């Protein structure tokens, strides 16, 4: 009896050995071998396909899980341009403004510190001038002769040298504050690099008008010391008003920076509770998809057994 021809174009329909023997009294060994080979090929192809599908599903699930947990860990909803191009651009602009405001606040603090140094130095100069005036009143006493006045002038000259030294050596960040060489200090308080101009004081003997003060001269004038004291007091008053202005600017910068940060947070920050809920939902869906793949693989295994 002639053997039936087996079509290799459709490997899903080959006859098993039992089916072939049911139709043929004497099985053809070559046909039986061909059937067995076809069955094994089908098993191998389906096993490879199922394995690849499972691996791909696992990889996609892993990538998604890592991405979601990465967002939760960062606390940011916008971590890359793909998360929101316009939101990213706005957030970076607000970040630049916030950082500039905070830096402006630091610049203001530096200016305040320099004014404190100046005020402390002027306070010392005031003490020196008070002592010079006291000695000048003593020199004005008619009971003092030339020798006494020379001794008084020696002390006054030492005090005047002290005033000049303070004026020349008072510095902040290597900038002379009271010798007139640093007349105006520009404070970059605003985000655009601009801000306030602070007037620095000049406390040298020449600026105070007492460079040639000498009580040994018959016509020495105590009012020059009074005028010098008034100038120093005016300088300290200016420093005080400018310090107050800087304090207001400092608070304004911090308040504005806080508001900008709040606006940026609304754009960039992640809703943690919602993100965690979404992540758990995705994990359930991924587990369900994995279960479906396993069931599909089991069903294909059952179909393959029909050829055995």
How much is the average pLDDT of 91-99? 85
Among the ranges given (29-33, 215-219, 244-248), the one the predictor scored with the smallest mean pLDDT: 29-33
User: In angstroms, rounded to a whole number, what is the distance separating the alpha carbons of residues 32 and 40?
Assistant: 12
How much is the average pLDDT of 180-197? 90
Per-residue pLDDT of 5-23, as tens digits, reads 444 444 445 545 455 455 5
Per-residue pLDDT of 111-143, as tens digits, reads 999 999 999 999 999 999 999 999 999 999 988
Q: DSSP string spanning 242-255?
A: HHHHHHHHHHHHHH
User: In angstroms, rounded to a whole number, what is the distance separating the alpha carbons of residues 47 and 53?
Assistant: 10
User: In angstroms, rounded to a whole number, what is the distance separating the alpha carbons of residues 277 and 265?
Assistant: 21
Residue 124 CB neighbours (<10 A): 14
Element (H, E) at 100: helix 85-139
Do the bridges between strand 175-176 and strand 184-187 make them parallel or antiparallel, or are there none, so unpaired? unpaired
pTM: 0.62
CA distances from 203 to 52, 63, 175, 211, 223 (A): 85, 70, 15, 11, 17
Per-residue pLDDT of 240-263, as tens digits, reads 999 999 999 999 999 999 998 888
Q: Half-sphere exposure of 42 toward its Cβ, with a 13 Å CA cutoff?
A: 24
Could you give the 3-state DSSP secondary structure of residue 20? Answer: helix
């Amino acid at each position: 009896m002639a053997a039936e021809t087996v079509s290799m174009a459709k490997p899903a329909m080959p006859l098993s050995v039992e089916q072939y023997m049911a139709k043929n009294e004497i099985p053809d060994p070559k046909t039986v071998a061909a059937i067995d080979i076809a069955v094994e090929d089908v098993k191998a192809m389906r096993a490879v396909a199922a394995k690849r599908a499972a691996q791909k599903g696992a990889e996609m699930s892993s990538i998604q899980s890592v991405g979601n947990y990465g967002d939760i860990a960062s606390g940011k909803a916008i971590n890359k341009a793909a998360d929101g191009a316009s939101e990213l651009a706005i957030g970076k602009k607000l970040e630049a403004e916030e950082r500039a405001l905070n830096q402006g606040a630091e610049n203001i603090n530096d200016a305040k510190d320099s004014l404190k140094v100046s005020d402390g130095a002027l306070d010392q100069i005031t003490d020196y001038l008070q002592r010079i005036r006291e000695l000048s009143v003593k020199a004005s006493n008619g009971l003092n002769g030339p020798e006494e006045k020379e001794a008084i002038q020696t002390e006054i000259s030492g005090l005047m040298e002290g005033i000049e030294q303070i004026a020349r050596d008072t510095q902040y960040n290597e900038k002379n504050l009271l010798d007139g060489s640093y007349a105006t200090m520009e404070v970059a308080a605003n985000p655009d690099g601009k801000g306030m101009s602070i007037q620095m004081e000049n406390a040298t003997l020449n600026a105070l008008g007492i460079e040639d003060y000498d009580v040994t001269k018959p016509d020495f004038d105590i009012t020059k010391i009074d005028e010098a004291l008034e100038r120093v007091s005016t300088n300290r008053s200016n420093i005080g008003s400018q310090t107050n202005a800087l304090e207001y600017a400092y608070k304004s910068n911090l308040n504005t920076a806080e508001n900008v940060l709040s606006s940026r947070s609304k754009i960039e920050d992640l809703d943690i509770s919602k993100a965690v809920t979404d992540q758990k939902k995705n994990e359930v869906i991924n587990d369900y998809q994995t279960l479906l793949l396993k069931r599909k693989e089991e069903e294909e295994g059952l179909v393959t057994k029909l050829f055995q």
